[in-house]
């Protein structure tokens, strides 16, 4: 391991399939201890990026470093301490959960023995079903076994791709708790998902990818803070209020929506100037509120997937 090298660092990562650029100059930096959300709609390039990180798919351009090592040049060193599940855990259906773990542990050369396997089986609460064939497992149990197959590697970096897919609500809640526990143990986690709710509950930082490009990278708090907030005004005379607003320099981009005015307002002196101007024009203020954009709305804005009827806030760039 290169001292102080981040668990994941990509620069200008590109993957093309024919004419389609699935991943387009992606830069990612995941720091030690991060629980990093990798968000984007289906087909945005998340899974392809993860495949490149794990050396399953060759990149067309750019660099990848896992703890300072390139998985294409030296996969054994680069993947030392790295574990991941792409799309969904794929295990040997005709073998028991325990036999799967024994088999995969043998590939790891970590010397993991029965006690280690018992430990991870306990951790994912599968000990009682460890002797059953995987073909008899539910989707949630497969996810947990998949995570156990990662944990048997004693990873420092864990990549999970859509771990909640096909899992029932109780299973999702369990997975969230497990991810938090693993993060508390110091494991860096990259969690790829198309569901904001899945990411915002556990992740400290996120990258949002859309059509192969990173459109935002930072913390969720920064994302929320960076969103431009619209004000909503209900007045006794909306048309006169609109005339007043058009004369106030602190008001921008005003729109009359029914009997409600919406606009962007300079934060510092805008409210004072506006209320004074409205009072002088003898327009009564029924309410003046500021929208708090939801993360979901921000996500849809970033990925240009506007749900029907949603208010779409503006977001400052990456």
Partner 1 sequence: MISGTLISYRAELRKLIAQRRTWLGIATAALVPVIFLISIQISKVTPHDGPYDTPLGPNLRHSGLAIDFVVLKLVAVIGPTLIAALVAGDIVASEDMAGTLKTILVRSLRRGEILAGKVLALFTYLAAALLAYTVVGEVTGIIFWGFHPLTNLSGDSISAPHALALTVPSLVLYGIPVLAIASFGLFLSVVTRHSVAAIAGTLLYALALQGLAALSALASIRAFLLTTQLSAWHDLFQTPTAGDAIVRSLWVSALFAIPPLLAAWIVFQRRDVAT
Q: Which residues bind partner 1 (CB under 8 A)?
A: 48, 51, 54-58, 75-76, 79-80, 82-84, 86-95, 99, 103-104, 106-110, 149, 153
Rounded distance between C-alpha atoms, residue 116 and residue 97, angstroms: 14
Rounded distance between C-alpha atoms, residue 243 and residue 72, angstroms: 63
Q: How far is the CB of 177 from partner 1 (least distance, A)?
A: 24
For residue 12, give Cα distances in angstroms to 63, 170, 220. 7, 39, 23
Q: How far is the CB of 46 from partner 1 (least distance, A)?
A: 13
Nearer to partner 1, 133 or 180 (CB): 133
Q: How far is the CB of 64 from partner 1 (least distance, A)?
A: 14
Query: Dihedral through CA 205, CA 226, CA 46, CA 70, nearest 10?
Result: -60
Nearer to partner 1, 18 or 249 (CB): 18
- Residue 277 CB burial class (10 angstroms; 0-12, 13-18, ≥19): middle
Alpha carbon distance, N-terminus to C-terminus of the chain = 30
Q: How far is the CB of 210 from partner 1 (least distance, A)?
A: 20
Residue (of 155, 158, 121, 161) closest to 141 by Cα position: 121
Nearer to partner 1, 94 or 252 (CB): 94
Nearer to partner 1, 117 or 241 (CB): 117
Q: How far is the CB of 129 from partner 1 (least distance, A)?
A: 17
Q: How far is the CB of 235 from partner 1 (least distance, A)?
A: 57
Residue (of 215, 226, 191, 184) closest to 205 by Cα position: 191
Q: How far is the CB of 168 from partner 1 (least distance, A)?
A: 22
Nearer to partner 1, 124 or 278 (CB): 124
127-160 in b/e form (b: 16+ CB < 10 A) is bebbeeebeebeebbbbbbbbbbbbbbebbbbbb
Nearer to partner 1, 39 or 57 (CB): 57
Nearer to partner 1, 89 or 293 (CB): 89
Rounded distance between C-alpha atoms, residue 262 and residue 146, angstroms: 49
Rounded distance between C-alpha atoms, residue 98 and residue 126, angstroms: 9
């Amino acid at each position: 391991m290169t001292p102080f090298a981040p668990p994941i660092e990509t620069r200008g990562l590109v993957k093309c399939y024919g004419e389609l650029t699935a991943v387009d100059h992606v830069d990612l930096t995941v720091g030690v201890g991060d629980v990093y959300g990798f968000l984007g709609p289906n087909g945005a390039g998340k899974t392809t990026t993860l495949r490149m990180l794990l050396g399953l798919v060759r990149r067309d351009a750019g660099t990848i470093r896992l703890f300072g090592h390139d998985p294409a040049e030296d996969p054994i060193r680069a993947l030392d301490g790295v574990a991941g599940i792409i799309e969904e855990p794929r295990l040997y259906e005709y073998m028991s959960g325990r036999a799967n773990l024994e088999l995969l542990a043998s590939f790891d050369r970590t010397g993991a023995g029965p006690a280690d396997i018992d430990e991870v089986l306990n951790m994912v609460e599968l000990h009682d079903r460890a002797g059953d064939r995987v073909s008899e497992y539910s989707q949630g149990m497969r996810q947990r076994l998949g995570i156990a197959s990662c944990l048997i590697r004693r990873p420092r970096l864990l990549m999970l791709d859509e771990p909640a897919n096909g899992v029932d609500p109780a299973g999702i809640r369990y997975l969230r708790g497990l991810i938090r526990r693993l993060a508390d143990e110091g494991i860096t986690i990259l969690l790829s998902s198309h569901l904001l709710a899945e990411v915002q509950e556990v992740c400290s930082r996120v990258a949002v990818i859309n059509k192969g490009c990173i459109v935002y990278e930072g913390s969720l708090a920064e994302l929320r803070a960076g969103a431009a907030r619209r004000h909503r005004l209900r007045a006794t005379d909306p048309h006169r209020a609109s005339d007043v607003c058009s004369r106030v320099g602190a008001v921008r981009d005003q729109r009359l929506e029914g009997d409600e005015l919406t606009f962007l307002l300079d934060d510092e002196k805008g409210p004072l100037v506006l209320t004074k101007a409205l009072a002088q024009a003898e327009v009564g203020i029924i309410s003046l509120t500021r929208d708090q954009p939801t993360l979901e709305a921000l996500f849809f804005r970033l990925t240009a997937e506007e749900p029907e009827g949603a208010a779409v806030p503006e977001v400052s760039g990456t």
